Amino acid sequence: MGSLHKAIIPGLPDDLALRCLAKLSHGYHGLVETVSKTWRDLIRSSDYANYKTREGLCGNWLFVLTEGSNNEWVAYDPEADRWHPLSKIPSVHGEERHYGFSCISVRNRFFVIGGSYSHDNPTFPHQRPLVTNEVMQFDPFKKQWTNVASMITPRSHFACTVISGKIYVAGGRNLACTRGLALAEVYDPVADKWEELPPMPHPQMDCLGLSYKGKFHVLSEQVGLPDQNTSEVFSLSDETWCTMEDVWPLSRAMQFAVQMIGYNRVYTVVDWGESLIKTRDSEKGEWYNIGSVPSVVLPDHSRQLEAFGYGFAALQNELYVIGGKALKWEQSGAGRFDIVKLDLVRVCNPLVEPLKWRETRPMIGSARGAVLGCASMEEVSSN
């Protein structure tokens, strides 16, 4: 009796049933696995992963890492409106805090690149961090992490972007170059290989990478200050760098908060006194306000609070403001400010003004507070 075949969906050929279930986005998988042992085994099988890979059915993902999650990423599925944890990254660094890395998606894969690892150990307060060149890849079809080719140069707090299916990195710092790196390199995920690029004219650290009009822009931590509007720009066509004068109204505190939606559509948060969202007119090169990041309303607090340390991402032509912290005044005793770690997720369509924000399902488990990294991945068919 044990050898009798059990249909995946009674009344349907198994190949058609596989196609039906493969259309389900990743946020439903946990629910699907509770239907039956047959469905659970299918969802976890190589046949299922291979079929989704072949058809390019990766789904839409929003990846987030927060300060209190012990290096465990969580993922949001907008179709299912569900968060779920990813498997933990296999690492020799144990529970060391990971920061200063870059995270980015390309070719239906999610990458966590470089950064620093340090012990939060008061016994060794002056222990130097380890700056790494490691690159981890998450496969959304198999839901597994793997090591891929390491960068040539270990680096932390560096510029990173994707252009034409390749990952470009530049600048940052490591223990050998604490005042900034000029070195740059490019990763081809198909060949799993890094190649050196010509160095930048000037070293940059704590910098931001941006793909704009087909070029790699490296914006320093000084960009946004009144007299600091230069950026290093790499042209892919002739592999040369130049220093350009431009106006990027980025705040130093939130400079990671730049996203691209569609072609040459850039959004940023400028938090000089108030958290304004700006976008750039790609023809005129001018920036204008489209709204502001919404205040936080807590159920046990009468005043609206301003969030900080949140993540900012774009997915399916919507902007997401994720997590962060808020200062809440407590009247008890002499009075004090308490730090509230937020799991809130707010979303808006930036093309509809005035902005109309809505809350989606909050993050799960210990995922709350300051966001260390966030990136989105949109399904791109391989056909």
Residues 332-345: tens digit of each pLDDT:
666 678 899 999 99
pLDDT value of residue 341: 95
Residues 358-374: tens digit of each pLDDT:
999 999 999 999 999 99
Q: What is the DSSP letter of 380?
A: -
Sign (positive/negative) of CA torsion 188, 112, 76, 348?
Answer: negative
C-beta neighbour count of 268 within 10 angstroms: 25
**Closest among 78, 58, 77, 21 to 380, alpha carbons compared:** 58
Residue 334 tokens read as 């002499």
Per-residue pLDDT at 124 exceeds 70: no
pLDDT value of residue 285: 75
| Percent of the residues in the chain that have a pLDDT greater than 70, as a whole number | 87
Q: What value does the mean pLDDT of the chain take?
A: 87
**Closest among 46, 78, 7, 172 to 378, alpha carbons compared:** 78
pLDDT value of residue 102: 96
Range name among 117-131, 136-150, 154-168 with the lowest pLDDT average: 117-131
Per-residue pLDDT at 162 exceeds 80: yes
Residues 191-226: tens digit of each pLDDT:
999 999 999 999 998 888 988 888 999 987 665 455
Sign (positive/negative) of CA torsion 131, 132, 138, 142?
Answer: negative
Per-residue pLDDT at 119 exceeds 90: no
Q: How far apart are CA 29 and CA 349, in angstroms?
A: 27
Per-residue pLDDT at 97 exceeds 80: yes
Mean pLDDT of 83-108: 91
pLDDT value of residue 383: 46
Q: How far apart are CA 105 and CA 25, in angstroms?
A: 18
Q: How far apart are CA 346 and CA 359, in angstroms?
A: 5
pLDDT band at 1 (very low <50, low <70, confident <90, very high): very low
Enter the pTM of the model.
0.92
Range name among 42-51, 165-174, 248-257 with the lowest pLDDT average: 248-257
Residue 225 contacts by C-beta under 8 Å, 6 or more apart in sequence? Answer: 252
pLDDT value of residue 261: 65
φ, ψ of residue 364 in degrees (nearest 5): -110, 165
Per-residue pLDDT at 141 exceeds 80: yes
Q: How far apart are CA 236 and CA 242, in angstroms?
A: 12
Mean pLDDT of 65-89: 93
φ, ψ of residue 49 in degrees (nearest 5): -65, -40
Could you tell me if residue 58 is left (phi over 0), alpha (psi between -120 and 50 degrees) or otherwise beta? alpha
Mean pLDDT of 174-178: 90
pLDDT band at 317 (very low <50, low <70, confident <90, very high): confident
pLDDT value of residue 128: 84
pLDDT value of residue 20: 92
Range name among 13-17, 121-125, 168-172, 370-374 with the lowest pLDDT average: 121-125
pLDDT value of residue 27: 96
Mean pLDDT of 153-178: 95
